[in-house]
Chains A and B, each alone.
Chain A
Amino acid sequence: MSRLLRPASRLVSSSAARPVNVRSAFQSFPRVPAIVQSRGYAKESGVKEYTVRDALNEALAEELELNPKVFVLGEEVAQYNGAYKVTKGLLDRFGDKRVIDSPITESGFAGLTVGAALAGLHPVCEFMTFNFAMQAIDQIINSAAKTHYMSGGIQPCNITFRGPNGFASGVAAQHSQDYSAWYGSIPGLKVVTPWSAEDAKGLLKAAIRDPNPVCVLENELLYGQTFPMSEAAQKDDFVLPFGKAKIERAGKDLTIVTLSRCVGQSLVAAENIKKKYGVECEVINLRSIKPLDVESIVKSVKKTHRLLCVESGFPAFGVGSEILALTMEYAFDYLDGPAQRITGAEVPTPYAQKLEEMSFPNEPLIEAYIAKMLRL
Chain B
Amino acid sequence: MRGATVKSIVGELLGRREGIAYGKGGSMHMFTKGFYGGNGIVGAQVPVGAGLAFAHQYLGKKNASVVLYGDGASNQGQVFEAFNMAKLWNLPVMFGCENNKYGMGTAANRSSALTDYYKRGQYIPGLKVNGMDVLAVKAAVKYARDYTTNGHGPLVLEYVTYRYGGHSMSDPGTTYRTREEIQRMRSTQDPIAGLKHKLLEWNVTTEEELKQIDKDARSDVDKEVAEAEQMAPPEPTPKNLFEDIYVRGSEPQFMRGRTPDENYYY
Using a CB–CB cutoff of 8 Å, the interface residues on chain A facing chain B are: 3-4, 6-8, 10-11, 14-15, 18, 21-23, 71, 97, 102-103, 105, 107-121, 138-139, 142-143, 147-156, 187-188, 190, 210-212, 242-243, 290-291, 295, 329-330
Contact = CB atoms under 8 A, between A and B. Distances in A.
Given A108-B78, A143-B39, A212-B246, A115 B44 contact: no
Interface string B5-41: 0000000000000011111110001111000110111
Given A152-B19, A155-B36, 5 more contacts: A103-B88, A112-B82, A115-B54, A139-B44, A151-B31
Contact of B47 (A18, A111, A210): A111
A108 B84 contact: yes
Contact of B48 (A7, A102, A118, A190): A118
B49 interface: yes
B181 to A, nearest CB: 34
21 contacts: A6-B261, A7-B260, A11-B253, A71-B58, A97-B58, A103-B81, A105-B85, A107-B81, A109-B81, A114-B48, A115-B53, A143-B41, A148-B244, A150-B24, A151-B21, A151-B31, A152-B25, A153-B243, A153-B244, A154-B21, A190-B252
A108 B247 contact: no
A103 B54 contact: no
Nearest to A25: B250
A211 B250 contact: yes
A125 B250 CA distance: 21
Contacts of A102: 85
A148 B48 CA distance: 15
Contacts of A15: 253
Contact of B246 (A10, A97, A112, A148): A148
Contacts, number: 178
A15 B56 CA distance: 42
A67 to B, nearest CB: 13
Closest 6 CB pairs of A and B: A115-B51, A108-B81, A111-B47, A291-B252, A153-B244, A119-B55
Contacts of B1: none
Given A115-B47, A121-B58, A152-B25, A22 B20 contact: no
A216 to B, nearest CB: 16
B253 A108 contact: no
Contact of A108 (B29, B53, B82, B260): B82
Given A115-B55, A143-B39, A148 B247 contact: yes
Given A15-B253, A115-B36, A121-B58, A108 B85 contact: yes
Contacts of B247: 148, 153, 156, 211-212
A148 B246 CA distance: 7
A105 B39 contact: no
Contact of B31 (A138, A142, A155): A155
Nearest to B86: A112
A309 B265 CA distance: 26
A114 B51 contact: yes
Contact of A152 (B22, B249, B253, B263): B22
Contacts of B59: 120-121
Given A14-B265, A242-B252, A155 B47 contact: no
B37 A147 contact: yes
B55 A116 contact: yes
Contacts of B23: 152
A109 B47 contact: yes
Contacts of B204: none
B157 interface: no
Nearest to B84: A103
A118 B52 contact: yes
B144 interface: no
A113 B51 CA distance: 6
A18 B254 CA distance: 12
Contact of A115 (B31, B41, B49, B249): B49
A49 to B, nearest CB: 33
B226 interface: no
A143 B48 contact: yes
A112 B21 CA distance: 23
Nearest to B260: A7
A343 B52 CA distance: 41
A107 B55 contact: no
A112 B85 contact: yes
Contacts of A150: 21, 24-25, 29, 31, 37
A319 B247 CA distance: 25
A103 B261 CA distance: 48
Interface in B113-139: none
Given A108-B81, A148-B244, A210 B250 contact: yes
Contacts of B53: 115
